[in-house]
Amino acid sequence: MSALVVRPATRADHDAWLPLWDGYNAFYGRSGDTALAPEITAATWNRLFDPYEPMFALVAERGGALLGFTHYLLHRSTTALQPSLYLQDLFTSAGARGQGVGRALIEAVYRAAAELSLPRVYWLTHETNETAMQLYDRIAEKSGFLVYRKQIA
């Protein structure tokens, strides 16, 4: 088996990224009648390559096949001078789960934060995502915060 490679996404990855993106959104219930509008997917993809957007994408591949991705962004905080790094999306294909792909992607995000001298990486997951939380509990700490939200429009 060839080595797992984690690298920045390129525009040429779009066709292999898209089924992973669709799988990620389906996992969180955004499919069928509740699917993201195509223009949101297109805007997200384009933002990942816009030098004026603080958004980034990494992909994991083995033998030329994309197995997973992570998207992360930088944002300001009222409690720190440096930006925080928010790992917004993380997904691995069903066939690649349990092979260290998710961990490799998260560790690559940690390295990106260290290279930028950023003090913190954080992310959210759904409370039912028990399989992923087994990994998260080993490589990060729970903050104790709960998320509240209200849909406005």
CATH for 40 = 3.40.630.30
**Do the domain assignments include residue 92?**
yes
- Token digits of residue 92: 């691995």
Question: 127: alpha, beta or left, given left = phi > 0 and alpha = psi -120 to 50?
Answer: alpha
Q: Is residue 48 part of a domain?
A: yes
Give the per-residue pLDDT at 72.
98
pTM score: 0.93
Q: Is 103 strand, coil or helix?
A: helix
Q: Could you identify the residue written with the tokens 């080595």?
A: 3
What does the pLDDT read at residue 74?
97
In the structure, what pLDDT confidence band is assigned to residue 73 with cuts at 50, 70 and 90? very high
Helical pair 14-27 and 38-47, crossing angle rounded to 10 deg: 120
**What is d(CA 66, CA 5) in angstroms, rounded to the nearest whole number?**
9
Number of domains making up the chain: 1
- Domain coverage including residue 33: 4-139
Mean pLDDT, to the nearest integer, of 94-105?
95
The verdict on residue 144 lying in a domain is no
Query: What's the rounded mean pLDDT across residues 115-138?
Result: 93
- Look at residue 37 and tell me if it is in a domain: yes
